[in-house]
Amino acid sequence: MSDKVRVYEIADEAGASSNEVISKANDLGIELKSPQSAVSLEQAEEIVNYIMTGASAKVKAKAPAKAKKPVAKKEKKEEPKKQDNELKKAETSTSTKKQNAEINKTDKPESKKEEKKEEKTSAEEKKQPVNTQRDEKTNRIIPKRRGLKIVKKKKPAASKPQEQQTASLNGEDTPKQKMKSLSEILGGGNEEEKVAPKTATTAPKTKIKKEKKKVPPKAHTHGKKLEIDTSKDFTNSDDSLLGEEVVLLDMGISDSSKLFEEQKNNNNNNKNTKQTRSSKPAAFGNRPQGLRRKKRKKRIKRVEETKEITEVTIPEDIRVYEFAEACGKSPAEVITVLFGLGMMVTKNDFLKQDELEILGEEFGIEVTVKDALEDANYVDDYYEEEVDESNFTTRPPVVTIMGHVDHGKTSLLDKIRSSKTASAEAGGITQHIAAYTIKQNNQKITFVDTPGHAAFSSMRARGASVTDVIIIVVAADDGVKQQTEEVISHAKASDCPIIVAVNKMDKEGANIDMVKAQMAERELTPVDWGGEIEFIPVSAKTGDGIDDLLENILLQSEILELQADPEAKAKATVVESSLEKGRGPVATVIVQNGTLKVGDNIVCDTTYGRVKAITNDLGKQVKELGLSETGRVLGLNEVPESGAIMVTQDSDKEAKDIATKRAEHARAKELSKSTKVSLEEMSGLIAEGKIKQLPVIIKTDVGGSLEAIKGSLEQIQNDEVKVKVVHAGVGGITESDLILASASEGCIILGFNVRPTGSVKNKAKADGITINTYSIIYDLIDDVKDTLSGMMSAIVREENTGQAEVRDTFVVPKVGTVAGCLVTDGKVIRGGHARIIRDGVVTYTGKISSLKRFKDDVKEVTNGYECGVMFEKFNDIKVGDFIETFIQIEEKVHIDDK
C-alpha cells in the first residue's frame, strides 16, 4: 500500500473535483498543484475523509477558521460525553445560529420538520470528527477506503456514506453503531427512535422518503461538495438504499448478517422497505424470497408425483411427450435417457417397444403396453370363438407354386388349369386370376399364383398363411438357380410340405438327377434317395406328369388332415386386390373357414362393407364361396392389402367400427414411421456416408404386383445408392401422388399397368415430375437400376499413353527444371498425367505442366521424338528417369456391376 495516489484519483473516490481536492489538501497542509500531483496513501485517506466529513484534526489545528466555528467549538466540548446525551445537547446547541448559517449557504429547508431533521443529523455528524480522530489513532484504513470506494459510486447517497463512515471509523468498537447508521440510511425506525426519538415522532416510520430527506442537511453541514447533488439525488429511490446495504457488506463487517436480520425485523414494521425488497429482488441480486418458497413447493410436489408413479399402462403407439406425461417426467428427461443410449428421438416421435422397456427400467416404472387394437382384433376374436367340431369336414388343399424365373411356374399353372378346370363350363376362359380351384379325381385343389416368393413371405409374415402345400418348380435343363435357393428358404420357413416339380422334362437337356442332387445338397432329399421330398417329373408343355403331381398334392393334404367348418362364420384371406372401374374395390379371396355369402357384413383389416357380389375363378357370379374356394368379392369400401383377413361380422356397424379403429391405428403407425424414417435416415446417412437415394412412388393395378415390385425395388441397393419407396398403392396415378412426389426431391412415379389421366399428366408435366409407366415388371426394375446406376459415381480408369526417357535436365531460373526427353513409346500429352520412375520405383505422380518441342509449346510428342517436359510442383528430375504418361477416363458403372 505504499503506492502514491494522484489527486484525480482522490477526487474520483471522494466524488469531488480535483480542484476541491487540491484546496482541501492545502487546508490539511498538503501541498498539491495539479490533478496529476501525488500523495501518499495515508494522506489521500486523510484528504478523502476531510472532504467527506468536512473535518480533520489537522484542519482544526491548522486552520480552524475553515470549519464552522460555533459547531466546531461545541463539538470539542461535547467529545467526552456519552453519545446519546451528546446528540440531545447537540440538537439544542446547534439550533438557530447554525441553521441560519446553513440556510444562507444552501437551499432553504422546505419545512420546519426538515429543519429539525437537519438539526438532528448535524448533531450526529458532529460526532464524526471525534470518531475520525479516534480512528486515525487506530489506523483502520482499509475498511474505510473500501466503504468509501463504493459510496463514491453511489453518488446519490452521498450523505449516507458519512454515516457509514462514522460506523467504519468507529471500527471495532460498536457494531451496534454501524447498525444504527444502516437503519438510519434505510429509514428503519427502531434504531433511529433510540437515537433521535424526537425525529421519530415527527417523521412516521413508514415514510422512507421523508426519513431520507433528513439526510441531505447532513451533507450541508459537512461541506459544500456534499451539499451539491445529494439533496436531490437522495430522494431518488429505494434502489440507492439497497445499494447502501451492499456497501456495508463489502466493508467486511463481521456482523453484516446480523445487520440484515435486524433490518428484516425492523422492516416488519416498514411496509415500504419490505415492498422494495420483494418487488425488485432480481434487479438487485437479492434473494427472491417469495419465489424461493414457491420453488420449494414445486419441488416437493414433483418428488411426490415421481414417488406415486411406479407403473403405467400405455397404448402400444405412444409419443415421447405422451409417455413423459404418463410417467410424470418431462419430455427432456425421456429424450436425454434415450440420447444417452444413442437413440435420437424428438418429443413427437413414437416410442418403440425396446425404447419403452429401457425407459421403464431407467425410471423404475413398470410399463405395461396395452394393445391399441384390443377392441378391434377381429381375427383373434374369431379364433377365440367356440368351435363346433361336429361340423368339421375335409377341406381342399391350397397350393402355391414357386420357382426361379422362367422355370415354368406360369406355364405349369396354366396347364393345370386348362386341363383340369371344367373348361366346358367356363367356355375356355383364360383370364388372369390370382387363384383358382381344379378338380382331380373329384377332389378339389386350389392353386394360388403369388407374384413371387417375396410376396408369399410377406403375406405369411402378416399372418396370412393360406398355403397348405408348396410346389417348387425347377427346370430339369437348368437346375437350381439363385431364386430357387431363395424359394427353398421361404418354403422351409413356412413349414409347409414341399413337392418338387422337375419341369421341362420334355426338353433334350433335361436331367432330373442333376436337380435331385442339387436339391439334396440343400437338404431337400428325394424319397427315392432316402429322403422325404417327392420329386415329380413334369412338362408344362406336354402336360406329362401333371396328374402325378396332383395325386401327390392330394396325398400330402390327406396326411395334413385339413379340416374346417362350413357352417362357421366365414374367414377368408385376400390374395389379390384391385380397384376396378365401375366395380370399386375388388378382393380375390380364398375361404379358409365357413362359407362366404353375398350379403354378409365383412371386415377386412382397415376396410369393411357388405358382400355385394361374388364371382368365382371362372368368372361366374356365385352366391357363396365354400371351403378353400376362391373368388372375387365386391362390396368393400376400400381396396384391402394382399394378405388381409376377411371375417364376417354380425352387423354392418360392428364391421365399420372395427375397420375404422384399425384404419386410425394404421394411420397413426404410418405417421410414426414417417417421423422415424427421417431420423433413421439421419443416422443412416452418417453410417453409410453419403448414400444416394432414389425416392419412388409405386402405383399398380393389383396388390400382388405392388408387393412384388416394392419388394424387388427395395432389394436393389449397394453401398452407394438405394431405392426409397415413398409410397406404394393400388390404383391409378392421382394428383395426391404428384403432391407427394413433389415433396421429396428427385422422386419419380412408377406406374405398373396404370397410366396417368389427362389432368394428372398435364400437372406432372407442369411440375416437372417424372411418371414412368410399365406393363412388364422387368422393364420397370431395369429402368430403376439404370437410374440408380446414373446416380452412382463413375469409376476412374487409367490408360497409359506412352513413355519417355530423360536424357538431360536444364534448370531454368525462376521456372524450374526441364527434362529433356526422348519419347520411347506411345506419346506424351501436355496436361496429361505422368509418373516418374527412378530405378523401377515411382518417385512422382502428377501432371505435365509444360511440353515443348524446341521452343514451341506442343500438345503432344510421339514416339521417337525429343521434347522438353516440365512437371507440376516437381523439379527433382534426373537423367535416366522414365516418364510414364497416362490419362484418366471416367467410366459410368451399372448397379449390377458392383
Ligand X SMILES: Nc1nc2c(ncn2[C@@H]2O[C@H](COP(=O)(O)OP(=O)(O)OP(=O)(O)O)[C@@H](O)[C@H]2O)c(=O)[nH]1
Of the candidate spans 18-26, 536-544, 596-604, 871-879, the one that interacts with ligand X by CB under 6 A turns out to be 536-544
CB atoms within 10 A of CB 793: 12
What is the phi/psi pair of residue 739, to 5°? -65, -45
Q: Determine, following the binding rule CB under 6 A, whether residue 237 of this chain makes contact with ligand X.
A: no
Count of residues that interact with ligand X, criterion CB under 6 A? 15
Residue 150 contacts residue 249 (beta carbons within 8 Å): no
Find where cell 480408369 sits.
Answer: 797
Q: Please give the Cα distance from 844 to 877 (Å, whole number).
A: 9
Of the candidate spans 104-112, 488-496, 539-547, 853-861, the one that interacts with ligand X by CB under 6 A turns out to be 539-547
The CB-of-695 to ligand X minimum distance in angstroms stands at: 28
531 is in an annotated binding site: no
Reported as half-sphere exposure (CB side, CA atoms, 13 A), residue 766 has a value of: 9
Q: What angle do CA 688, 690, 693 make, to 5 degrees?
A: 95
Q: Determine, following the binding rule CB under 6 A, whether residue 539 of this chain makes contact with ligand X.
A: yes
The CB-of-672 to ligand X minimum distance in angstroms stands at: 36
Cβ neighbours of residue 479 closer than 8 Å, sequence gap 6 or more: 511, 514, 515, 518
For ligand X, the closer CB: 387 or 776: 776
Residue from 214, 222, 407, 490 in contact with ligand X (CB under 6 A): 407
Pattern of binders to ligand X over 410-449, x per CB under 6 A? xx--------------------------------------
The CB-of-411 to ligand X minimum distance in angstroms stands at: 3
894 is in an annotated binding site: no
- Proportion of the chain in helix, strand, coil states, percent, rounded to 5: 50, 25, 30
Q: Determine, following the binding rule CB under 6 A, whether residue 548 of this chain makes contact with ligand X.
A: no
Q: Please give the Cα distance from 563 to 690 (Å, whole number).
A: 55
First to last CA, the chain: 82
Helices (H), 223-270: 224-233, 238-250, 256-267
Residue 349 contacts residue 315 (beta carbons within 8 Å): no
SS3 169: helix
Q: Please give the Cα distance from 462 to 457 (Å, whole number).
A: 9
Q: 613, exposed or middle or buried, with CB in 10 Å at 0-12, 13-18, 19+?
A: middle
Q: Determine, following the binding rule CB under 6 A, whether residue 286 of this chain makes contact with ligand X.
A: no
Instruction: Looking at residues 644 to 703 of the shown chain, list those that interact with ligand X (rule: CB under 6 A).
Output: none
The CB-of-406 to ligand X minimum distance in angstroms stands at: 4
Residue 30 contacts residue 62 (beta carbons within 8 Å): no
Residue from 374, 406, 495, 767 in contact with ligand X (CB under 6 A): 406
Of the candidate spans 22-30, 46-54, 355-363, 400-408, the one that interacts with ligand X by CB under 6 A turns out to be 400-408
408 is in an annotated binding site: yes
404 is in an annotated binding site: yes
Residue from 123, 169, 540, 764 in contact with ligand X (CB under 6 A): 540
Of the candidate spans 92-100, 103-111, 404-412, 703-711, the one that interacts with ligand X by CB under 6 A turns out to be 404-412
77 is in an annotated binding site: no
C-alpha 201 chain-centroid distance? 67
The CB-of-475 to ligand X minimum distance in angstroms stands at: 7
For ligand X, the closer CB: 502 or 836: 502
Instruction: Looking at residues 208 to 227 of the shown chain, list those that interact with ligand X (rule: CB under 6 A).
Output: none
Residue from 61, 405, 812, 887 in contact with ligand X (CB under 6 A): 405
843 is in an annotated binding site: no
Cβ neighbours of residue 680 closer than 8 Å, sequence gap 6 or more: none
469 is in an annotated binding site: no
Q: Determine, following the binding rule CB under 6 A, whether residue 739 of this chain makes contact with ligand X.
A: no
CB atoms within 10 A of CB 878: 12
Exposure string of 74-96, with b = 16+ CB inside 10 Å and e = fewer, is bbeebeeeebeebbbbbbebbee
**Which is nearest to 436 in space by CA: 470, 469, 400?**
400
503 is in an annotated binding site: yes
The CB-of-412 to ligand X minimum distance in angstroms stands at: 7
Task: Name the residue number minimizing CB distance to ligand X.
Answer: 408
Residue 871 contacts residue 877 (beta carbons within 8 Å): yes
For ligand X, the closer CB: 331 or 703: 703
For ligand X, the closer CB: 195 or 505: 505
For ligand X, the closer CB: 55 or 540: 540
For ligand X, the closer CB: 459 or 625: 459
Query: What is the bridge-based pairing of β-strands 748-752 and 770-774?
Result: parallel
276 is in an annotated binding site: no
Q: Determine, following the binding rule CB under 6 A, whether residue 541 of this chain makes contact with ligand X.
A: yes
Residue 801: C-alpha distances to residues 89, 194, 835, 848, 877 (Å)? 118, 110, 12, 13, 20
Cβ neighbours of residue 742 closer than 8 Å, sequence gap 6 or more: 767, 769
The CB-of-403 to ligand X minimum distance in angstroms stands at: 6
665 is in an annotated binding site: no
What is the phi/psi pair of residue 75, to 5°? -55, -45
SS3 223: coil
For ligand X, the closer CB: 411 or 494: 411
The CB-of-407 to ligand X minimum distance in angstroms stands at: 5
Pattern of binders to ligand X over 445-484, x per CB under 6 A? ----------------------------------------
349 is in an annotated binding site: no
For ligand X, the closer CB: 129 or 408: 408
SS3 505: coil
The CB-of-413 to ligand X minimum distance in angstroms stands at: 8
Residue 715 contacts residue 707 (beta carbons within 8 Å): no
The CB-of-410 to ligand X minimum distance in angstroms stands at: 3
For ligand X, the closer CB: 176 or 481: 481
What is the phi/psi pair of residue 365, to 5°? -120, 135
Q: Please give the Cα distance from 845 to 867 (Å, whole number).
A: 19
The CB-of-399 to ligand X minimum distance in angstroms stands at: 15
- The helix or strand, by DSSP H or E, that contains position 860, with its residue range, turns out to be strand 860-862
For ligand X, the closer CB: 212 or 409: 409
Of the candidate spans 342-350, 534-542, 716-724, 760-768, the one that interacts with ligand X by CB under 6 A turns out to be 534-542
- The helix or strand, by DSSP H or E, that contains position 774, with its residue range, turns out to be strand 770-774
Q: Determine, following the binding rule CB under 6 A, whether residue 403 of this chain makes contact with ligand X.
A: yes
For ligand X, the closer CB: 408 or 640: 408
- The helix or strand, by DSSP H or E, that contains position 869, with its residue range, turns out to be strand 866-871
**Cell output for 289:** 424470497
Q: Please give the Cα distance from 579 to 699 (Å, whole number).
A: 12
Instruction: Looking at residues 498 to 517 of the shown chain, list those that interact with ligand X (rule: CB under 6 A).
Output: 503-504, 506-507
The CB-of-502 to ligand X minimum distance in angstroms stands at: 10
Q: Determine, following the binding rule CB under 6 A, whether residue 255 of this chain makes contact with ligand X.
A: no
SS3 96: helix
Of the candidate spans 162-170, 401-409, 641-649, 686-694, the one that interacts with ligand X by CB under 6 A turns out to be 401-409
Q: Determine, following the binding rule CB under 6 A, whether residue 409 of this chain makes contact with ligand X.
A: yes
For ligand X, the closer CB: 783 or 866: 783
The CB-of-478 to ligand X minimum distance in angstroms stands at: 10
Q: For the packed helices 41-53 and 142-153, what is the interaxial angle rounded to 10 degrees? A: 50
The CB-of-540 to ligand X minimum distance in angstroms stands at: 4
For ligand X, the closer CB: 502 or 741: 502
For ligand X, the closer CB: 11 or 708: 708
Query: What is the bridge-based pairing of β-strands 584-593 and 571-580?
Result: antiparallel
Which residues line the annotated binding site? 403-410, 449-453, 503-506
Binding residues for GTP, by number, are: 403-410, 449-453, 503-506
Given the rule CB under 6 A, which residues bind ligand X?
403, 405-411, 503-504, 506-507, 539-541
